[in-house]
Amino acid sequence: MRAQIMCVVAQSRVLLIAVMSLAAAAQAESGKLNWTLRLNETRGPVRTADVSTLSGKTAVSEVLGGPTNGSDNAYLIYTRMPPGAHGPSLFTLPVEDDYVVLSGKMTVQIGTEKFVAGPLTGVVIPANIPHEVWNADAEPEAHLEVISSANPRQDLSRNLISMLKPAQPMKVANASQYVREINLPAASNLKPGLNGQTYTQRSKGSPFQMRIDSTLPGSGGPKPHVHRFEQVYFEVEGETTVTYGLDDYPLKKNDIVIVQPGVVHTNKNPTSGIERHIVLLLPEPESGPFDIEFERKGAVGANP
Q: Would you list the DSSP string of 46-107?
A: EEE---PPPPTT--EEEEEE-TTTT-SS-EEEEEEE-TT-B-SSSEE-SSEEEEEEEES-EE
Domain 187-293: give its CATH architecture: Sandwich (2.60)
Q: Is 233 exposed, middle or buried (0-12, 13-18, 19+ CB in 10 A)?
A: buried
pLDDT for 21: 35
Residues ≥6 apart with Cβ < 8 Å to 278: 100, 144, 210, 211, 212, 232, 233, 234, 236
Collect contacts of 289-292 with beta carbons under 8 A, ≥24 apart. Answer: 290/227, 291/222, 291/225, 291/226, 291/227, 292/225, 292/226, 292/227, 292/228
pLDDT for 28: 38
Instruction: Flag whether pLDDT at 132 surpasses 60.
Output: yes
Angle ∠(101,193,220) on CA atoms, nearest 5: 80
Domain 37-181: give its CATH architecture: Sandwich (2.60)
Mean pLDDT of the region 37-49:
95
In residues, how long is the chain? 304
> d(Cα 251, Cα 46) in Å, to the nearest integer?
8
Same topology between domain 37-181 and domain 187-293: yes
Of 32 and 129, the one with more pLDDT: 129
> d(Cα 207, Cα 93) in Å, to the nearest integer?
15
Task: Answer yes or no: are the C-beta atoms of 130 and 90 closer than 8 Å.
Answer: yes
- Report which DSSP code applies to 272: S
N-terminal to C-terminal alpha carbon distance within the chain: 98
Furthest-apart CA atoms within the chain: distance in Å = 98
Residues 241-263 pLDDT 10s: 999 999 999 999 999 999 999 99
pLDDT for 55: 87
Cis link prior to 82 (omega < 30° from 0)?
no
> d(Cα 46, Cα 68) in Å, to the nearest integer?
15
Q: What percent of the chain has pLDDT over 70?
A: 88
Three-state SS at 187? helix
> d(Cα 242, Cα 235) in Å, to the nearest integer?
11
Instruction: Flag whether pLDDT at 12 surpasses 70.
Output: no
Q: What are phi and psi of 179, to 5 degrees?
A: -105, 115
Task: Answer yes or no: are the C-beta atoms of 232 and 78 closer than 8 Å.
Answer: no
Instruction: Flag whether pLDDT at 13 surpasses 70.
Output: no
> d(Cα 72, Cα 69) in Å, to the nearest integer?
8
Instruction: Flag whether pLDDT at 30 surpasses 80.
Output: no
Instruction: Flag whether pLDDT at 15 surpasses 90.
Output: no
> d(Cα 212, Cα 121) in Å, to the nearest integer?
11
> d(Cα 145, Cα 122) in Å, to the nearest integer?
10
pLDDT for 63: 98
pLDDT for 304: 64
Domain ranges of the chain: 37-181, 187-293
Going by pLDDT thresholds of 50, 70 and 90, the confidence category of residue 10 is: very low
pLDDT for 8: 39
Residues 78-124 pLDDT 10s: 999 999 999 999 999 999 999 999 999 999 999 999 999 999 999 99
The per-residue DSSP string of 280-293 comes to EEESPPSSS-S-EE
